[in-house]
Structure 1
Amino acid sequence: MSVVVYSMSAFFQAQGEWELVLINYFKTDAPILDEVQDLLVYEITIKRRPLLYVINIMLPVFSFLVLDVTSYFMDADGADKLSFKVTLLLAISVLLLILNDILPSTAEKLPLIGIYCSVIFSLIGISILETIFVNYLKAKGAEIRSAAFVQRTVAVIDQDDGVREVQIPPDQNEIKISLCWMRVAEMTDTIFFILYIVTIIVFLSVLASIWVN
């Protein structure tokens, strides 16, 4: 019997996400229909192939995270940066749907790969909210600045020349307010970028230590 069992484990080839590790068997007795009968119990040990998930899920999600980080070097005055981030979020959403079909639904706790994808999805979502906020601050400052530089023309009555037009210079207070809005937007973007990088490094380090242990 042992020769047959070990030959089965030697010639068995897994063609999927599972890998055959070990096949054990033992003999026991069990009462069946009020009679004690001999039973032969087989224990089959299998494990998932991690390289499949690393290539198909973890690397694409990490590449999306890298693209999100590099998007901070794009011009934030237009809508290209925001649309780029939304596209990344939608791409990760599709990967999460695929992950939901691949992982077993009977798992007692969320696997590490699920935590990995969910946290990165949340980080990119928070990054989108920060981009919207920064764009609002810069648009507000640009609006005040453009209003300050609008040429204001008034009519002045002169005793010698009659009526003539005089242009009022831009309001310096509005220019200072506009610069304050721009400065706050830049500081917010810089501080969030630093915190974003630190959060990513800490999260990946903790997740790697849990995975190794």
Structure 2
Amino acid sequence: MHLGWLIFYLASVGSASAAGNCSYKALLEHLGLGNDDIQMTSLRPVFKWKTPTFLFLDLFVTSITEVNEKAQSLSTQVTILLGWVNEYTVWNPDDFCGITLCSVKKDMVWTPDISITESIKTEFATMENQYVQLQNQGAVVTSNTFAVTTACKMNLHQFPFDVQSCTFTFQSPIHSSKELVISPFSDASFLTLSSKKAFQTQGEWELLSINTSKANVTTLGETQDQLIYKITVKRRPLLYVINFLMPVFYFLILDLASFFIDSAGGEKLGFKVTLLLSISVLLLLLQDMLPSTASDIPLIGESFSALNIILLTDAVKDTKSPPDSETDRHEERLYALDLLKQILVELQAAAAHQNQQERKCLSWTRVATIVDVIFNFLYVTTVIVFLIMLFKAWFP
């Protein structure tokens, strides 16, 4: 009888003990968290100091807020996922009613010091995540969304059909590669696909790819791990094509059509001057929107300047039209008739002089016609070569 009561008592105590272990509080007490233990909060979480801490990182680009070509900077919103191994936060789920995950505040455990070396300005895009997630195998996971402005060297020669590549280099300012090993958690294709799905803006820039690579850098005699993310973005050129490229091509077509205008009446020269003024106004508008740097000049600016020179040369050519001596001949005839009344000999001399002038005018007219045909051929050839070279430069 007493033996039965003893078995019942022991079973009751065991059940109560098992029920007590089914709480996060019991798990935290088992792990030694919440006691401001310097070993848990400040020191690298390894049993042996020679053992490196393995940090895994993922970078997701959720939006591109600004690309400043003159300042050579890229502003993005990114989500950074961090995971590392903590040898002190390992437990057996069977001892705690199957608990495998537990969320605690960041200040209760050690967190790695990671920074972006290209960062000009970094701030939390949303409220800072105050928690990390503990897993029973010893993994610690956390994530945050940042608004990051980074330095980015840009090549604007192919504007507006340019593709820019900017890097995010993650590195610990303190720990060497013997203490902290940084590696990517996901591959490049997964990061690219996930970022495109989560992309929140459809502005001027399109995300093409995210690539990862690892490198080492030596600082103060110590080698440190670097994880480099290469962000490749492409400009959407539709706005610039409609506002600038199409009008320029229209001007070229109108200038080619002006070859069929008769130059005797003066309308051709006025038409060319109007085209020249129009392209000059377009250049002034382009100056406000054209990105510029100290070393790279956009190809579109060079092409507009070349086009302006071509139109100016064509307009100057048209000002040198063949001499029109009809009025002079008429005055000479009247003068010759007056002289005929006085002296017959002077009439013969005037007639000879008139024939000589007509032969000179005819020869100059032929020379001007030949020069005009040659210039028109060279002009059309120059425009075709110019457009072919421009197309190859934009779309190699």
Q: TM-score range by the shorter chain?
A: 0.7 to 0.9
CA drift of 1:127 comes to: 0.3
Equivalent residue, structure 1, for 2:368: 185
Secondary structure class of the residue paired with 1:138: coil
* Distance verdict in 2 for CA 1:179–1:198, change over 3 Å: same
* Distance verdict in 2 for CA 1:111–1:40, change over 3 Å: same
Q: Which of residues 262, 271, 278 is equivalent to 1:84?
A: 271
CA drift of 1:58 comes to: 1.3
8 Å Cα contact 1:144/1:175 also seen in 2: no
* Distance verdict in 2 for CA 1:187–1:3, change over 3 Å: closer
Secondary structure class of the residue paired with 2:320: helix
8 Å Cα contact 2:292/2:298 also seen in 1: no
Kindly indicate whether residue 292 of structure 2 is the aligned counterpart of residue 109 of structure 1. Answer: no
Q: Quick one: which amino acid aligns to residue 65 of structure 1?
A: L
For the residues of structure 2 that align with 1:67 and 1:143, how far apart are their CA atoms?
33
Q: Quick one: which amino acid aligns to residue 242 of structure 2?
A: I
* Matching of residues 190-209 of structure 1 within 5 Å: 190-209=373-392
Secondary structure class of the residue paired with 1:109: coil
8 Å Cα contact 2:291/2:298 also seen in 1: no
Secondary structure class of the residue paired with 2:232: strand
Q: Which of residues 317, 338, 361 is equivalent to 1:153?
A: 338
Secondary structure class of the residue paired with 1:19: strand
User: TM-score normalized by structure 1?
Assistant: 0.74
Aligned length: 199
* Distance verdict in 2 for CA 1:71–1:15, change over 3 Å: same
The Cα offsets for residues 89-112 of structure 1, whole Å up to 9 and x where unpaired, read as 111111111221222122622222
The Cα offsets for residues 17-46 of structure 1, whole Å up to 9 and x where unpaired, read as x3333456889999xxxxxxx999765432
For the residues of structure 1 that align with 2:380 and 2:257, how far apart are their CA atoms?
11
For the residues of structure 2 that align with 1:20 and 1:107, how far apart are their CA atoms?
26
Provide the identity percentage.
42
* Distance verdict in 2 for CA 1:146–1:26, change over 3 Å: same
Equivalent residue, structure 1, for 2:238: 51
CA drift of 1:88 comes to: 0.7
8 Å Cα contact 1:145/1:178 also seen in 2: no
CA drift of 1:56 comes to: 1.8
The worse-fitting range, judged by mean Cα deviation, of 145-154 and 87-96 is 145-154
* Distance verdict in 2 for CA 1:43–1:62, change over 3 Å: same
Kindly indicate whether residue 291 of structure 2 is the aligned counterpart of residue 95 of structure 1. Answer: no
Q: Where does the alignment leave 5 or more consecutive residues of structure 1 unmatched? A: 31-37, 159-165
Q: Whose helix proportion is higher, 1 or 2? A: 1
8 Å Cα contact 1:23/1:43 also seen in 2: yes
* Matching of residues 23-34 of structure 1 within 5 Å: 23=210
* Distance verdict in 2 for CA 1:178–1:104, change over 3 Å: same
For the residues of structure 1 that align with 2:343 and 2:385, how far apart are their CA atoms?
70
CA drift of 1:50 comes to: 2.6
CA drift of 1:156 comes to: 3.8
CA drift of 1:55 comes to: 2.2
Q: CA RMSD in A?
A: 3.5
Kindly indicate whether residue 249 of structure 2 is the aligned counterpart of residue 62 of structure 1. Answer: yes
For the residues of structure 1 that align with 2:368 and 2:328, how far apart are their CA atoms?
14
Secondary structure class of the residue paired with 1:101: helix
CA drift of 1:119 comes to: 1.1
Q: Quick one: which amino acid aligns to residue 298 of structure 2?
A: P
The Cα offsets for residues 156-187 of structure 1, whole Å up to 9 and x where unpaired, read as 489xxxxxxx8975821111112222222222
Secondary structure class of the residue paired with 2:323: helix
